[in-house]
Structure 1
Amino acid sequence: MIAAPPAIVELYIPVLLGLGLLILLVAWLPLVLKEWPLSLPIVCVGIGAGLFSIPRFQPFAIHPIETPFMVEKAAELIVLVSLMGAGLKIARPLSWWGWRPCWRMLGIAMPLTIVALTLLGAGLLGVGLSTALLLAASLAPTDPVLASDVQIEKPGSDSDDEARFTLTSEAGLNDALAFPFVHLAIAAAAGGWTWVTMGWWVLDDVVFRLAVGAIAGVAGGWLLGWIVYRLPGETRLSRTGDGFVALGATLVIYALTELAHGYGFLAVFIAGLMLNRAAATDVFNDRLHDFADETERLLMMVMLVMFGGMLSAGGLLALVRWSDVVFALIAVFLVRPLVGWISLAGLRRSPLERGAIAFFGIRGLGSVFYFAYGINHGQFDQPTRLWGAIALVILISILLHGTTVTPVMRRLDRQREVDA
């Protein structure tokens, strides 16, 4: 008979107590914080940093440097659930004209952000070009998890204004579109910046994988929509009323797309859009979204508490240098707002809307996933040191955007009411 370690036996009940309290906080805190310039992520990170500062709990903190695979997979799961939820929220038909702000953020803002952060990382942090590109690609996409406060609230919501729609659709699509640049960094780190490397990257990581992801998302979303809403009589899946169908659909579509060598993130988001369009007025669509949203918030809570532990007991803040501080401040306060504002130039939107879209380029758990994925699949210089820079950017983003989201979005709502 193998006995459990004494530390685990001793802390089992306290951990259950803490987990139960955190779950209750996830449900209760949004009601309390609704009137305050705070957000649930700020509270979760603070709890994690404080909890894992206690010597008894320090051995249970996640160390991304020692366990990058665990960090990658944990962040991957929450991003997946968040992408399905984002797709289920959007009722606006996909079109070139109706999605113009989103296309601009994807086609202009994200590439400019990657270029700017790559040059900044190489020049300021003193790392190689491929490592700087990995850092930039990890920080370029708007996080679909932590950006939920600036997104459409739920399917058919009255808050489907241009700012919320753009931030929701951008967060849903730019995770997949950042992946080719992560793969380019991995390929360049292994084979150098040669024409062969670039050519293979374009054919495989850009054209083929994006095409497979898009096709799998459309086909998988259509098939699921038919099974859920169109099967005859008692056999249609919507009659179960089980919201966990959203989680099953997410995992199946993602896994099949990855097995087909496509981008599963793209497929999951598109499948969410297709499911929404299959029966947008069906109450089961709301049930699917609500389950995905609740699951996302629970996973987010756990991951952010662990992220707080990474900052304290995990030693990430101890890795931060002054050059990392400068890099993080420029990335959050200058690069994203500036390229976002430039990308939206010429659109007939108010300065407040353009400013909100440009400013709320929230960095979070998606960045953790991409950086962990990169160092798990490639050879990069100073990956340990760059964990500090990644963590600092995320922490600043959580604090800055978490304290400003409530007043800014309220002002947007007031402006919309006046314009109406």
Structure 2
Amino acid sequence: MLLAHWSLFVGVLLITMVLVSTLLARLPLSSAMIYLALGYALGPGGIAVIAPDPMRHAGTLEAITEVALLISLFATGLKLGVPLRDRSWALPLRLAFPTMALTVALIAAIGVWGLGLSAGAAVLLGGILAPTDPVLASSLQSGHGSRPDRVRFSLAAEGGLNDGSAFPFVLLGMGLIGLHELGGGWRWSVADLLWAPAGGIAIGTALGALIGKLIVRLRTRHHTAVGLNEFLSLGLIASAYGTAQLLMASGFLAVFAAGLALRRVEEQPLAGSVSLDLAPPLAHAPDHASAERATHSHHASATMTHAVLEFSEQLEKLAELAIVLIIGAMLPYATGLAGLWWFVPVLLLLLRPVAVAAGLAGNPVHPHQKAMIGWFGIRGVGSVFYLMYALHHGVSGALAQQLVTLTLITVAASILLHGISAHPAMTWYERRRSKPA
């Protein structure tokens, strides 16, 4: 296709999504389902105008999916306004770490005994398929503010955390098949399992807080550094990721933590100043009033966070469009596999609920909330990134083809099943939640 053809196609697609967005909200369809079908039609299974062969283009696809994940992780962190000391964080932390690790173990066991994989290959498969997805989970509307719904908040926070917490298990699997240095287990335990997640969270938190406070102070005290919130968003993502990677920490968790920290930058009211919400209505033009809020000591932080979040959410939607189109186009590269017919249902319908139930044992979660969390273990961009990472870093041959098939079919099934069930499941959940205890 020529550039003009691509330009026309993308333009028509974007405008069409604007026109039908209200209709889609009323139907048991998600935007990801539409993108998946369009991607398949554009790929080798359809008119073959794109051919994202995962074996030949693993490096490029790894980079594209990584950028999409970073954008979504930052946006997810910005959306989560629950105070960090709030008890609501206990649930997503248990989902993102012990539950995720248990999911890896369960998938690995199925891989060894059911699919005939080696221990290393099975652990690698577990690391690829265990994390839930922050990009596609955003369709569940996690809810803004300091008191969002518990289920939506937990799913969103889990998706933000477990893309970083899954990486050590991907590296463990690669180490067991000889493609990553484990250092007798010590290097993996200390550097990959302990330092990478903890260092990523610490680095992202520090950068998000420091840069956010600096911008707010410059805007409120000196009326400088105003505007270019898009640059602030992209700059903080790049800085957090780059710093973490250079220090051998998790870039994913650093970017997520940077979004969390930026959201929590507090206002710095000047002595004697009054909030614009308490002052008499201004007679200024709306754009002047908006500029005044951006530099007002009672509103600068909230105005900055809102602008950065708005831009990040738009980027997230574009990233979802691009990545799911690519996933759809890659589906023809999945080949027949003897255990495929039972593996995907077992993973989505059995392993996820079992891991959630075990991981949340002892936590006072209502059964209908646990059922919702157990069902919405959405797989997506994170799994595709880890697949491409493995292929780009040496996995090849029959194992590579097995991983490609299992990952792509699982992700496609998850997009379809969770997309169709999202509206009715959430309606059922809201009905149960509204009933008196």
Same fold per TM (> 0.5)? yes
Distance, in Å, in 1 between the alignment partners of 2:18 and 2:145 is: 22
Contact 2:45 2:329 in 1 (8 A): no
State which of 10, 18, 21 in structure 1 corresponds to 2:9: 18
Pair 1:354–1:138, CA change in 2 (3 A): same
Distance, in Å, in 2 between the alignment partners of 1:288 and 1:264 is: 20
Correspondence for 1:356: 372
Correspondence for 1:135: 125
Distance, in Å, in 1 between the alignment partners of 2:133 and 2:116 is: 26
Distance, in Å, in 1 between the alignment partners of 2:103 and 2:399 is: 22
Contact 2:106 2:351 in 1 (8 A): yes
Mapped pair 1:180 → 2:196: no
Deviation digits for residues 70-129 of structure 1 (CA, Å, limit 9, x no counterpart) = 111111000000000010001111137331211221233111100010111122222211
Contact 2:81 2:146 in 1 (8 A): no
Please tell me the residue identity of whatever aligns with 1:74.
Answer: I
Correspondence for 1:156: 145
Deviation at 1:279, TM superposition (A): 4.1
State which of 36, 50, 73 in structure 2 corresponds to 1:60: 50
Contact 2:42 2:49 in 1 (8 A): no
Deviation at 1:241, TM superposition (A): 5.8
State which of 64, 73, 77 in structure 2 corresponds to 1:87: 77
Correspondence for 2:263: 276
Pair 1:28–1:179, CA change in 2 (3 A): farther
State which of 195, 205, 230 in structure 2 corresponds to 1:218: 205
Distance, in Å, in 1 between the alignment partners of 2:198 and 2:365 is: 32
Distance, in Å, in 1 between the alignment partners of 2:123 and 2:435 is: 44
Correspondence for 2:296: none
Pair 1:338–1:30, CA change in 2 (3 A): farther
Please tell me the residue identity of whatever aligns with 2:315.
Answer: T
TM superposition score normalised by structure 1: 0.89
Correspondence for 2:274: none
Contact 1:245 1:288 in 2 (8 A): yes
State which of 114, 122, 135 in structure 1 corresponds to 2:104: 114
Correspondence for 1:5: none
Mapped pair 1:369 → 2:385: yes
Correspondence for 2:249: 262
Instruction: Report SS of the residue matched to 2:357.
Output: helix
TM superposition score normalised by structure 2: 0.86
Mapped pair 1:190 → 2:178: yes
Deviation digits for residues 180-226 of structure 1 (CA, Å, limit 9, x no counterpart) = 111111222217998x4311211211222223212211211111211
Correspondence for 1:3: none
Distance, in Å, in 2 between the alignment partners of 1:345 and 1:325 is: 30
Using the TM superposition, name which of 368-377 and 408-417 deviates more. 408-417
Mapped pair 1:166 → 2:159: no
Deviation digits for residues 202-255 of structure 1 (CA, Å, limit 9, x no counterpart) = 121122222321221121111121133222534554x31634421221122111
Pair 1:191–1:276, CA change in 2 (3 A): closer
Q: Which has the higher contact order (CA 8 A, sep 6+)?
A: 1
Correspondence for 1:399: 416
Structure 2: stretches of 5+ with no match in the other structure: 268-300
Contact 1:47 1:305 in 2 (8 A): yes
The structure having more radius of gyration, on CA atoms, is 2
Distance, in Å, in 2 between the alignment partners of 1:54 and 1:211 is: 43
Pair 1:86–1:178, CA change in 2 (3 A): same
Contact 1:63 1:310 in 2 (8 A): yes
What is the alpha-carbon root mean square deviation over aligned residues? 2.3
Match runs of 1:200-349 below 5 Å: 200-231=187-218, 232-235=220-223, 237=225, 239-240=226-227, 242-279=229-266, 282-312=302-332, 315-316=333-334, 319-349=335-365
Contact 2:179 2:394 in 1 (8 A): no
Distance, in Å, in 1 between the alignment partners of 2:45 and 2:120 is: 38
Contact 2:72 2:316 in 1 (8 A): yes
